[in-house]
Chain A
Amino acid sequence: MKIMNCPLNGPRNISEFVWGGEVKEMPSGPEVSPRDWAGYVFIENNIAGVVREWWCHVPTSFWFIAERNTVSDEVIRTYPASEVFNRRVEFAAPAKGETK
């Protein structure tokens, strides 16, 4: 069984973790076209190479980011999500009537 290094708990069996999808930016706001939105929701890039992924250490519910080579299944680096997400995210309030 593979070992993954949790930035909070150290090296642990991979069975203690769940995968949370690729780290990708969410297009926000009602102006996002259905096509772009569907791309965000349904399409995974699934590249052969190094990807950035969400992983969660289940017993402690700690989410972090792993850089993993999808060809060799080698986990290159793991780090807290705060390295990437370090600012509060706000969503713009919709203009009046824009509820579709």
Chain B
Amino acid sequence: MTSMVETGGVNRLPDSFGRLIDRKRRVAFSFEGREIEGFAGDTIAAALAANDQWVLSRSFKYRRPRGILTMAGQDSNTLVQIGAEPNVLADRRIIEPALGVMGQNYDGSLEADRGNVIELFGRFLPVGFYYKTFYKRGSWKFWEKIIRGRAGLGKVDLAAHHGYFDKQYLFADVAVVGGGPAGLSAALQAAEAGAEVILIDEWPALGGSLCYARLGREGDAAFNLAEKLAAQVKAKGNIHVLSDATCTGWFADNWLAIVKGSRFYKLRARSVVMATGSLEQPAVFRNNDLPGVMQGTAAQRLIRLYGVRPGRKAVVLAANDDAYGVALDLGDAGCEVQAVVDLREQVPETAMVHATRGRGVPILAGYAVTEAIPGTAKLGILGAAAARIAREGETDGAAAVFECDLLCMSTGYSPAGQILHHAGTKFTYDHAANMFQPAILPPHVFAAGSVNGTYAMEAVLAEGRRIGWAAAQDAGFARGTEPPAVTGDRGSFGQTHAWPIFPHKAGKDFVDFDEDLQVKDLVNGIADGYDDIELLKRYSTVGMGPSQGRHSAVAAVRVLAKETATDLATLSVTTQRPPYVPEKFGHLAGRVFEPERHTAMHHRHHELGARMMVAGLWYRPAFYGKPEDRDQAIREEVQAVRSNVGLIDVSTLGGLDIRGPDAAEFLNRLYTFTYAKQPVGRSRYVLMCDQTGAIIDDGVACRIHDEHFYVTATTSGVDGVYRLMLQWNAQWRLDVDVANVTAAYAGVNIAGPRAREVLAKVCHDVDLGPEAFPYMGVRLGSVAGIPARLLRVGFVGELGYEIHAPASQGEALWDALMAAGGTAGIRPFGVEAQRVLRLEKGHIIIGQDTDGLTHPFEADMAWAIAKNKAYFMGGRSIAIQTARPLTRKLVGFTLEDPSAPVPEECHLTVRNGEITGRVTSAVRSPTLDRVIGLAYVAPDQAAEGANFDIKIAGGRLIKGRVVKLPFYDPETKRQEM
């Protein structure tokens, strides 16, 4: 035990390996409750591998043990649970002290899962199983619970702590995605040309494959190159490097989404270089999914990045020269290579092949691995069986079994073209290279390196420079000289085998590890008729797991091509969509920038104990008092207005200044009433309908001057009204100027029988007498020395004045009126009391008592429709609607039974089980001491005194009776005092 801690695990290699770890700092964490010690910089998977823990998770369907596949965070084998956080990539998450890591998808324990018995029934779980079995037989209800219990990945903790997430916006002339040799040289060249460059790389250290792969016989050549390029990049002032950052998506006009830790970046670039590299692809054979079977690059990452020996005895399945780099690296790491099984009939005698031979490793050319021999409980492998390839995908003759606990697959690559896909790049299959390659790139998007099919290192560097230059030029920079075009061999040939797929008659030859799909599942799906890749994907779920087909898409399309005898060049992989890797909800939702609007009197409301409510972006007092005293407070506020005097902040009301010779004509066209002959110093109701004749807004138009109207609009409607006004006048070209002055004016309404008396104390330059300043009058004057527009309007049905003053002096206005009303006992009132007051007066609220279809006749507003106007918005629709019988009518109602509960908004009005309408507003009126409300009813139920049924909560029917509006002060004497 002690020695293990000293060396950082039984599989830990000497100091010369492990670029990313710090051997001076030990980090202890737990896996499945067992304490594990690794080094700072280790990923969970690396530390576990160092300690000989190879099983990381169980597969989704068959619950097969799974281990390291890529060491690059590209597969779902390594998904683990850390506390409340499910689906953490164990091969990317860096260990921290006391991290508690658990495996996923098992009952019992990771190494002895009770659910694994399901594998025995595997043959009863064919592709399309769910559709075929559970739905067809109508037994879904029974099965759903069991299936849902088994479905999903990891455990969600509903009480999980919400972490801090934020967002940042970035701008670049050239964005380079990928910090490998192509990306580094592109960034350098673009910076050389004068562009501001942002380089995005997933890894903690720049260099990409140079950090772990082997360039030729000398083990350190690649890494030395990485160091050199990274140092050059760091020395450039105009390259900003984002390490440990993943570009998750490309969106229109080069808008990149980037996740780095708990920050979400949105980067806008003039041009983008995609140097995202390629993904090594697994070979398909029996038991290719078991722990111990991994990609060659995964073994190299373990060795060089983390200093971990990936196994004791290894077999390498090869189809390219990189496989021999893997064999050499394994040997250097003290792993005995039993054999290289090469799918190629002719193995070119390269330097690395020669060196491999030189180490006495047998090379079996023209052979394939037919199966991995599982160990106990399939927790690892004991060997690999290899046989001679007879024809594509088939072997014959006796299999040779090599004893090994590690089987590396190095049979080919596929471009990591996901983000290029997002940008609309078309990929076509290249029969010479046996790979899909980007064919046509969209404007301002460039590709370099192996994502573009360029593998030979000199060509990669040259292409990076060339493309970096092109991207900078595209962004408007061209300092220096243009690098030469890349000529000669790009190295795309011989990297990837055409058919690394060897189906086994006993199955478990997995194409998709996420979804446990075997070759026969795809073959059966195709036979079932799903012979288009997009259909096959959805039917079989191939590529729909967490790794999104990164390792299965190409194999799936190969199987499809073969089964349907189609040329691969006419097919494509399924469409890739953002995000490339999962984004957390926190990244998307964390820290949104939602503006709030506060009125000038906001602080005063708080001081007075107001409960605020949201109205659009605005905050308004709902009522003043403690939440538990809500009803009492509202009642008292209503009573204050009815019997004494109240003050409400109406600053959120929309205000529009309409100026110019055509101001009246402009209003005539937009509102239903007429304004040409409206006298200066008077206000008039405005009702706006859209072109379908539906009511969309209301307010008053105050004529301040012949050519100047001050028009109010609803709080939530004003922005739309303003926009409509401008859109129409962009066509009409009337001589009028429209300004949205909502935020420029604060406003209050002082209302109640003593309103005049209070206002008179602070307003000396306007004659407030009832004859001099009658109801619907408008005056300009000053209140407490503050210039103001005074409006006598009557939304609450009492003597009242709306006072609109510059927002900068809103608080002073409020203070002056509160002080002036002190002896009278003035009371501030909120939106809730105002709603009661207006309902008592029978005034409708647009959007509450109207909906998207309400036309003026339904709401009894025919009085507001002008006759004989040449045109007004919605006029033609209203004329057509009026020629037809009404289908519903908005009426005032009360309840027959005074003790019946208050109906709620949207409770239905019904007749013989048929819906005739709905309640839009209802309250128990403190003034009238009965329930009053507004409701839509059938036209033949709309006569005064008619009864109708309201279906309230619980389905109970209560009787409503239509009453004439307004409920309160029917002669409207009080507001005209």
Residues of A contacting B251 in the complex (Cβ-Cβ under 8 angstroms): 1-2
The reply to whether B722 and A61 contact each other, CB–CB distance below 8 Å, is yes
B927, CB-defined interface residue at 8 Å: no
* Chain A interface size, under 10 / 10 to 19 / 20 to 34 / 35 or more: 35 or more
Residues of A contacting B734 in the complex (Cβ-Cβ under 8 angstroms): 88
In the complex with contacts A42-B692, A86-B733, A94-B723 CB distance below 8 A: no
Residues of B contacting A94 in the complex (Cβ-Cβ under 8 angstroms): 868-870
B740, CB-defined interface residue at 8 Å: yes
Residues of B contacting A3 in the complex (Cβ-Cβ under 8 angstroms): 252-253
Interface 1/0s, chain B 853-877, versus A by CB < 8 A?
Answer: 0000000000000011111000011
The reply to whether A30 and B876 contact each other, CB–CB distance below 8 Å, is yes
Quick one: which of B253, B727, B868 contacts A1, CB cutoff 8 A? B253
Give the number of chain B interface residues (Cβ < 8 Å): 30
Quick one: which of B266, B723, B876 contacts A18, CB cutoff 8 A? B723
Residues of B contacting A18 in the complex (Cβ-Cβ under 8 angstroms): 723
The reply to whether B727 and A63 contact each other, CB–CB distance below 8 Å, is yes
Quick one: which of A32, A34, A41, A91 contacts B870, CB cutoff 8 A? A91
Among A1-53, those with CB < 8 Å from B are: 1-3, 14, 18, 20, 28, 30, 32, 34, 37, 40-42
Residue of A nearest to B251 (CB): A1
Residues of A contacting B733 in the complex (Cβ-Cβ under 8 angstroms): 82, 85-89
Residues of B contacting A41 in the complex (Cβ-Cβ under 8 angstroms): 691-692, 877
Residues of B contacting A92 in the complex (Cβ-Cβ under 8 angstroms): 870
B159, CB-defined interface residue at 8 Å: no
Residue of B nearest to A28 (CB): B871
Residues of A contacting B723 in the complex (Cβ-Cβ under 8 angstroms): 18, 56, 58, 61, 63
The reply to whether A2 and B253 contact each other, CB–CB distance below 8 Å, is yes
Residues of B contacting A85 in the complex (Cβ-Cβ under 8 angstroms): 730-733
Among B629-684, those with CB < 8 Å from A are: 669
B726, CB-defined interface residue at 8 Å: yes
Residue of A nearest to B881 (CB): A34
Least distance between B742 CB and chain A CB atoms (Å)? 12
Quick one: which of A2, A37, A58, A73 contacts B876, CB cutoff 8 A? A37
In the complex with contacts A37-B880, A86-B733, A99-B868, A61-B253 CB distance below 8 A: no
The reply to whether A89 and B252 contact each other, CB–CB distance below 8 Å, is no
The reply to whether A30 and B879 contact each other, CB–CB distance below 8 Å, is yes
The reply to whether A54 and B253 contact each other, CB–CB distance below 8 Å, is no
Quick one: which of A30, A81, A91 contacts B730, CB cutoff 8 A? A81
CA distance A28 to B868 in the complex (A): 14
The reply to whether B879 and A61 contact each other, CB–CB distance below 8 Å, is no
Residue of A nearest to B865 (CB): A99
CA distance A14 to B252 in the complex (A): 10
The reply to whether A34 and B730 contact each other, CB–CB distance below 8 Å, is no
Quick one: which of A2, A28, A63, A93 contacts B726, CB cutoff 8 A? A63
Least distance between A22 CB and chain B CB atoms (Å)? 13
CA distance A81 to B734 in the complex (A): 14
Residues of B contacting A91 in the complex (Cβ-Cβ under 8 angstroms): 669, 870-871
B60, CB-defined interface residue at 8 Å: no
CA distance A1 to B733 in the complex (A): 33
Residue of B nearest to A80 (CB): B730
Among B728-778, those with CB < 8 Å from A are: 730-734, 740
A-B contact count (CB 8 A): 75
Residue of B nearest to A87 (CB): B733
Residue of B nearest to A86 (CB): B733
Interface 1/0s, chain B 414-432, versus A by CB < 8 A?
Answer: 0000000000000000000
The reply to whether B692 and A1 contact each other, CB–CB distance below 8 Å, is no
CA distance A32 to B876 in the complex (A): 8
B39, CB-defined interface residue at 8 Å: no
CA distance A20 to B691 in the complex (A): 13
CA distance A62 to B882 in the complex (A): 35
CA distance A91 to B722 in the complex (A): 22
Residues of B contacting A63 in the complex (Cβ-Cβ under 8 angstroms): 723, 726-727, 730
In the complex with contacts A1-B255, A37-B877, A100-B883 CB distance below 8 A: yes
The reply to whether B870 and A93 contact each other, CB–CB distance below 8 Å, is yes
CA distance A99 to B882 in the complex (A): 11
Quick one: which of B731, B740, B876, B883 contacts A81, CB cutoff 8 A? B731
CA distance A58 to B253 in the complex (A): 20
CA distance A63 to B728 in the complex (A): 10
Q: Which of B268, B730, B733, B868 has the most C-beta atoms of chain A within 10 angstroms of its own C-beta? A: B730
Residues of A contacting B252 in the complex (Cβ-Cβ under 8 angstroms): 1-3, 14, 73
In the complex with contacts A94-B870, A99-B868, A88-B880 CB distance below 8 A: no
CA distance A66 to B600 in the complex (A): 39
Residue of A nearest to B662 (CB): A88
Residue of A nearest to B883 (CB): A100
CA distance A85 to B727 in the complex (A): 11
Residues of B contacting A89 in the complex (Cβ-Cβ under 8 angstroms): 731-733
Least distance between A39 CB and chain B CB atoms (Å)? 12
Residue of B nearest to A64 (CB): B730
Residues of A contacting B876 in the complex (Cβ-Cβ under 8 angstroms): 30, 32, 37
Among B90-148, those with CB < 8 Å from A are: none
Least distance between B719 CB and chain A CB atoms (Å)? 8
CA distance A63 to B882 in the complex (A): 33
Least distance between B457 CB and chain A CB atoms (Å)? 37
Residues of A contacting B740 in the complex (Cβ-Cβ under 8 angstroms): 61
Least distance between A35 CB and chain B CB atoms (Å)? 10
Residues of A contacting B880 in the complex (Cβ-Cβ under 8 angstroms): 34, 37
Residues of B contacting A62 in the complex (Cβ-Cβ under 8 angstroms): 726
CA distance A58 to B879 in the complex (A): 33
Residues of B contacting A34 in the complex (Cβ-Cβ under 8 angstroms): 880
CA distance A81 to B252 in the complex (A): 26
Residue of A nearest to B722 (CB): A61
The reply to whether A88 and B730 contact each other, CB–CB distance below 8 Å, is no
Residues of B contacting A30 in the complex (Cβ-Cβ under 8 angstroms): 876, 879
Interface 1/0s, chain B 238-275, versus A by CB < 8 A?
Answer: 00000000000001110100000000001010000000
Least distance between B873 CB and chain A CB atoms (Å)? 10
Least distance between A84 CB and chain B CB atoms (Å)? 8
CA distance A57 to B268 in the complex (A): 20
Residue of B nearest to A1 (CB): B255
Least distance between A18 CB and chain B CB atoms (Å)? 7
Residues of B contacting A100 in the complex (Cβ-Cβ under 8 angstroms): 879, 882-883
Least distance between B677 CB and chain A CB atoms (Å)? 15
Residue of A nearest to B866 (CB): A99
CA distance A94 to B869 in the complex (A): 7
Residue of A nearest to B738 (CB): A61
Residues of A contacting B882 in the complex (Cβ-Cβ under 8 angstroms): 100
Residues of A contacting B869 in the complex (Cβ-Cβ under 8 angstroms): 94
Least distance between B543 CB and chain A CB atoms (Å)? 26
Residue of B nearest to A99 (CB): B867
Residue of B nearest to A98 (CB): B868
Interface 1/0s, chain B 708-734, versus A by CB < 8 A?
Answer: 000000000000001100110011111
CA distance A77 to B877 in the complex (A): 33
Residue of B nearest to A100 (CB): B879
Among B262-293, those with CB < 8 Å from A are: 266, 268
CA distance A82 to B883 in the complex (A): 37
Residues of A contacting B870 in the complex (Cβ-Cβ under 8 angstroms): 91-94
Residues of B contacting A87 in the complex (Cβ-Cβ under 8 angstroms): 733
Least distance between B764 CB and chain A CB atoms (Å)? 38
Residue of A nearest to B882 (CB): A100
The reply to whether B727 and A54 contact each other, CB–CB distance below 8 Å, is yes
CA distance A56 to B871 in the complex (A): 24
Interface 1/0s, chain B 512-544, versus A by CB < 8 A?
Answer: 000000000000000000000000000000000
CA distance A62 to B738 in the complex (A): 12
CA distance A82 to B726 in the complex (A): 13
Chain A to chain B contacts (Cβ below 8 Å), 18 pairs: A1-B251, A1-B252, A1-B253, A1-B255, A20-B727, A28-B871, A32-B876, A41-B692, A61-B723, A62-B726, A85-B730, A85-B731, A85-B733, A86-B733, A88-B732, A89-B731, A89-B733, A93-B868
Other 6 A-B pairs with CB < 8 A, given A3-B252, A85-B731: A28-B871, A41-B877, A61-B726, A81-B731, A92-B870, A93-B868
| Interfacial residues, chain B to chain A (CB-CB below 8 A) | 251-253, 255, 266, 268, 669, 691-692, 722-723, 726-727, 730-734, 740, 867-871, 876-877, 879-880, 882-883
